[in-house]
């Protein structure tokens, strides 16, 4: 014997951390390979995918399975599959789906195509992946790095959370307007706002803020949350609770102000002017409630989303500017108010902040 050469394809330095991040995020990682079981088990243990040989299933074991029920029993405990062929990869994916998992598969070869197509999410490697794999998959990772898939999961969770935040802002403020108008109609008062004032409120002042809210960065705990069900609606229980509470507070306080102004002898235009400004201030305050469903406003650094901070200030300044612009003032039927009255209305607007902080505190104490 002259010599012995050993060759190994080392793990990427970030692979182990990516697997750990998946586990923390409630995502189970399984490895499917055509390598020898001993090689596969060693790599899987190094990545902390498996803890013992009991979690390894080889291709011959799957071949001996008599029916899909037997395969399901094997895949229920296994997280490492060795010496498997293209057909068995497909069977493993189908079995995991029958066991109730939402399955994502990554692969680069033509033999991965059936599994990529069958999985709920197929992820192909863009650098070294075959054309068949890329055409079959739903996503393509351009750097062939598993850590990029994990980063994509985090970005997806941030994006979904921001969609919920913007929807909550729009629906809650719209529902508040319904509460305001309903109370006015039930008590026989004139309409609190004109049509042009409603358009101004929804399209201009609120329109600036909802765009800015979409740029909200992640809260930092996205990968410490359990995956949501694919069938979970956007309007889940917490969303409905928050919409109802904020809508009732905003709509009721605005109505009480409008009713008080009318009772004190203010003209209808003056009462509407004060009510409109209060609604704008409510939106300015409420947008910060929308930054998180669970975390307190006071634990959020406003500078983490400078676009939102600037957008909120801009929305208020645009409305104040309209009060001092002759032609726009006539169109909107608004007029300037004193700084003292502005501060008083700001105090009323803070009631929605207090209400939502109480809701977060109660949920945190009794549900967690």
**For range 168-197, the mean pLDDT:** 96
Q: Is the pLDDT of residue 244 over 90?
A: yes
Give the closest residue to 12 by CA, choosing from 149, 150, 151, 146.
146
Choice between 207 and 345, residue whose per-residue pLDDT is larger: 345
Q: What is the pTM of this model?
A: 0.89
Q: Which residue has 């009772």 as its token pair?
A: 263
Q: What distance in Å separates the CA atoms of residue 258 and residue 264, rounded to the nearest whole number? A: 10
Q: What distance in Å separates the CA atoms of residue 90 and residue 92, rounded to the nearest whole number? A: 5
Question: What is residue 241's predicted lDDT score, i.e. its pLDDT?
Answer: 95
Q: What distance in Å separates the CA atoms of residue 109 and residue 328, rounded to the nearest whole number? A: 64
Structure tokens at 136: 């079959």
Structure tokens at 51: 């803890």
**For range 168-180, the mean pLDDT:** 96
* Residues facing 58 on adjacent strands: 82
Q: What distance in Å separates the CA atoms of residue 94 and residue 72, rounded to the nearest whole number? A: 9
Q: Is the pLDDT of residue 54 over 80?
A: yes
**For range 156-184, the mean pLDDT:** 96
DSSP 126: T
Q: Is the pLDDT of residue 206 over 90?
A: no
pLDDT digits (tens, 9 = 90+) for 80-116: 999 998 899 999 999 999 999 999 999 998 999 999 9
| 349 within 8 A of 284, measured Cβ to Cβ | yes
Q: What distance in Å separates the CA atoms of residue 170 and residue 206, rounded to the nearest whole number? A: 8
| 115 within 8 A of 88, measured Cβ to Cβ | no
Q: Which residue has 């929807």 as its token pair?
A: 167
Q: Which residue has 């390598």 as its token pair?
A: 35
Q: Which residue has 């959020």 as its token pair?
A: 300
Give the closest residue to 279 by CA, choosing from 214, 332, 327.
332
| Percentage with pLDDT > 70 across the chain | 100
Domains and CATH numbers, the chain: 15-149 (3.40.50.1000), 157-367 (1.20.1110.10)
User: Which range among 52-61, 176-185, 244-253 shows the weakest confidence by mean pLDDT?
Assistant: 52-61
Half-sphere exposure of 168 (CA within 13 A, CB side): 30
Q: What distance in Å separates the CA atoms of residue 119 and residue 149, rounded to the nearest whole number? A: 15
**For range 220-228, the mean pLDDT:** 90
Which of the residue ranges 203-212, 277-286, 291-300, 356-365 has the most confident prediction, judged by mean pLDDT? Answer: 277-286
Give the closest residue to 37 by CA, choosing from 50, 18, 24.
50
The count of other CB atoms within 10 Å of the CB of residue 166 is: 19
Question: What is residue 9's predicted lDDT score, i.e. its pLDDT?
Answer: 78
Question: What is residue 368's predicted lDDT score, i.e. its pLDDT?
Answer: 58
Q: Where are the alpha helices (DSSP H) in the chain?
A: 15-24, 37-46, 59-64, 68-77, 86-98, 113-118, 131-136, 146-186, 195-199, 206-213, 237-263, 268-289, 306-324, 326-332, 339-367
| 204 within 8 A of 318, measured Cβ to Cβ | yes
């Amino acid at each position: 014997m002259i010599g012995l050469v050993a060759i190994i394809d080392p793990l990427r330095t970030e692979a182990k951390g990516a697997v750990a991040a998946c586990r923390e995020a409630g995502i189970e990682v399984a490895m499917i390979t055509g390598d020898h079981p001993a090689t596969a088990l060693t790599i899987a243990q190094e990545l902390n995918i498996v803890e013992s040989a009991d979690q390894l299933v080889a291709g011959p074991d799957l071949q001996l399975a008599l029916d899909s029920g037997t395969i399901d029993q094997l895949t229920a405990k296994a997280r490492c599959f060795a010496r498997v062929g293209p057909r068995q990869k497909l069977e493993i994916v189908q079995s995991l789906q029958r066991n109730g998992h939402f399955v994502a598969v990554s692969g680069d070869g033509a033999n991965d195509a059936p599994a990529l197509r069958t999985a709920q999410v197929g992820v192909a490697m863009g650098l070294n992946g075959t054309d068949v794999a890329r055409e079959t998959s739903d996503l393509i990772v351009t750097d062939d790095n598993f850590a990029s898939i994990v980063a994509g999961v985090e970005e997806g969770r941030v994006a979904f959370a921001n969609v919920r935040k913007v929807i909550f802002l729009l629906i809650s403020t719209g529902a508040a307007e319904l509460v305001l108008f309903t109370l006015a109609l039930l008590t026989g008062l004139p309409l609190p706002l004109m049509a042009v004032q409603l358009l101004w409120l929804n399209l201009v002042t609120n329109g600036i803020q909802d765009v800015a809210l979409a740029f909200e960065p992640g809260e930092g705990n996205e990968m410490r949350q359990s995956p949501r069900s694919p069938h979970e609606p956007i309007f889940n229980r917490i969303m409905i609770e928050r919409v109802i509470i904020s809508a009732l507070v905003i709509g009721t306080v605005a109505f009480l102000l409008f009713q008080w102004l009318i009772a004190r002898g203010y003209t209808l235009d003056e009462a509407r002017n004060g009510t409109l400004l209060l609604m704008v201030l409510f939106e300015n305050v409420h947008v910060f409630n929308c930054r998180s469903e669970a975390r307190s406003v006071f634990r959020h650094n406003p500078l983490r989303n400078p676009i939102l901070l600037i957008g909120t200030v801009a929305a208020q300044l645009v409305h104040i500017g309209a009060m001092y612009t002759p032609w726009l003032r006539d169109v909107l039927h608004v007029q300037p108010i004193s700084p003292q009255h502005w501060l008083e209305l700001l105090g009323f607007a803070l009631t929605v902040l207090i209400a939502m902080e109480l809701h977060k505190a109660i949920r945190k104490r009794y549900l967690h």
